[in-house]
Amino acid sequence: PGRSHLNSTRSNGSGKNIEISRETATTIVAIAGLAMLSFIGATIWLVKKKRRRAEPPSALPTQQQPAPPPPPPNYIPSSAGSSLASDGFYLRSPGYPFMRSSTGSHGFPYSPADSGIGYSRMLFTPENLAGISNDFSDENLLGEGGFGCVYKGILPDGRPVAIKKLKIGNGQGEREFRAEVDTISRVHHRHLVSLVGYCVSEGQRMLVYDFVPNNTLYYHLHVNEVPLDWRTRVKIAAGAARGIAYLHEDCNIL
């Protein structure tokens, strides 16, 4: 008496009836409802997942770098200057429609290459680079390291460049060198010197970079009588670190 029970009863198997309270029944119904909702949600998620897997790869959105528009047949970058095109000083790399095969007014011969380096890089001959660096004279020597010597040169349009004359003897063939040049030409960062062109011939390997003024870091640290202040030192170190970090973490050229 004083306690409400459900009208329906359930047999326990021994002939006796077990009465279930209303609170217990409510709890059981709630749990069963949650279980049913969870089951339905899991089923819907699995069906959608299987549908996504069944879709062809072309239907999925992809992120691709937009390809640069092809240059016109007679295009010459503004940085190279019109004088370079008129005097026949350089040869566009293969794959670019504008290729010159005749000898220009400077008397510089051309030797076609077989690499896939982009059209924005110049292909020099040893005679080209010897002519613009005064035959690699000591007065144009910028520095020397484990990979070779660096000389200053002036292109016919007045653009200064740094010519890195690499040491030969590491067993690297011409094809491997061209592959490395192709890789270097794809690297672009404000703290890295850009590649202007290259030279490859029997027994000679040279890289041509944009000339960076203000002398070398070694000069300012060990030769110059006026020492660098700490603010400038930190700025130089931070810039070098950003360039190295880009090469190791953010550079994706494959």
Residues 91 and 204 in one domain: yes
Looking at the fold, whether 208 and 176 belong to one and the same domain comes out as yes
Examine the domain organization and report whether 129 and 203 are in the same domain: yes
Do residues 240 and 155 both lie within one domain?
Answer: no
How many other CB atoms are there within 10 angstroms of residue 195's CB atom? 22
Domain that holds residue 225: 214-254
Q: Are residues 131 and 222 in the same domain?
A: no
Q: Which residues are annotated as a binding site?
A: 165
pLDDT winner (highest mean) among 92-106, 148-162, 198-212: 148-162
- Only one residue has tokens 């520095």, namely 143
Reported as a pLDDT band with limits 50, 70 and 90, residue 56 is low
> Would you list the DSSP string of 1-26?
------S--EE-SSS-EE---HHHHH
Residues 176, 233, single domain; the answer is no
Mean pLDDT for 18-39 is 80
The structural domain count of the chain equals 2
Here the CATH number for the domain that contains residue 172 is 3.30.200.20
Domain match, 200 and 93 both: yes
3-class secondary-structure state, position 74? coil
* CA angle 239–129–253, rounded 5-degree value: 45
Give long-range contacts, CB 8 A cutoff, 24+ apart: 168-174: 168/203, 168/204, 168/205, 172/205, 174/200
pLDDT single digits (tens) 99-148: 333 333 333 443 444 444 444 568 899 999 999 999 999 999 998 887 88
Instruction: Decide if 39 is inside a domain.
Output: no
Could you tell me which residues are annotated as the binding site for ATP? 165
Residues 86-91, mean pLDDT to the nearest whole number:
35
Looking at the structure, tell me whether residues 139 and 247 fall in a common domain: no
Q: Mean pLDDT throughout 221-225?
A: 89
Residue 24 has pLDDT above 80, yes or no: yes
What's the mean pLDDT in 187-211?
86
Residues 227 and 207 reside in one and the same domain: no
Q: Rounded mean pLDDT of the chain? A: 70
Residue 171 CA to its chain's centroid (Å): 27
pLDDT at position 40 over 90: no
Task: Judge whether 61 lies within some domain.
Answer: no
Distance CA 44, CA 1 (A): 48
Q: Is residue 54 pLDDT above 80, yes or no?
A: no
